[in-house]
Amino acid sequence: MIDSNESILQLVNIDSSGRNLLESSGKWAKFIGITYLTMAGLLLVITVLLFANLDLIANAFMNVNGMSQASLDFMMGAGKWLFVLVTLLSFCVMFLNGYFLVKFGISSKNYSHTYNESALSNSFIFLSRYLILTTVLSVVSTVSSVLAFLYFI
């Protein structure tokens, strides 16, 4: 039985090969996380630019595609705010994914250099949060795809 002061992680003996794999995964996670954060920032900038010029874009789109006045009214009213809501939600998801991956990368690198148990614990906490978020998004995506498929049958 484990003593209350003794952590389970102290019982795990990670050899040099395991530490190298953890450090390598941390580097890749940090790279992918930075990519997520960069794309989230780009999405935010594009959203602000599109929102600021939506009147101009909608009028040009109407001239090119022959959009009806009802569609234009929707785009300028509720559609504009729906667009902002969807892009801000996408920004939050991308930012959180990037944040958890970068923190996992930093913590795993810290563990591989210092062998600090709390760094290893933190790295797995950040990785688990990333995996939970990714799983929830996968379930939501699958359910919405199935519902869309059933709707159009």
Q: Which residues contact 146 (CB under 8 A, 6 or more apart)?
A: none
Q: Which residues contact 127 (CB under 8 A, 6 or more apart)?
A: 29, 100, 104
pLDDT of 12: 62
Fill in the DSSP letter of residue 6.
S
Cβ(95)–Cβ(130) under 8 Å?
no
- Distance, first Cα to last Cα, the chain: 57
Give the number of C-alpha atoms closer than 13 A to the C-alpha of residue 50, restricted to the C-beta side: 16
Q: What is the pLDDT along the chain (153 residues), one digit of tens a residue?
A: 444 444 555 556 677 788 888 889 999 999 999 999 999 999 999 988 888 887 787 777 777 766 677 777 777 777 778 888 888 899 999 999 999 999 999 999 988 888 888 888 889 999 999 999 999 999 999 999 999 888 887
Separation in Å, CA 44 to CA 103, 128, 137:
22, 26, 20
pLDDT of 7: 54
pLDDT of 64: 72
Task: Please calculate the CA angle 28-133-119 and round it to the nearest 5 degrees.
Answer: 50
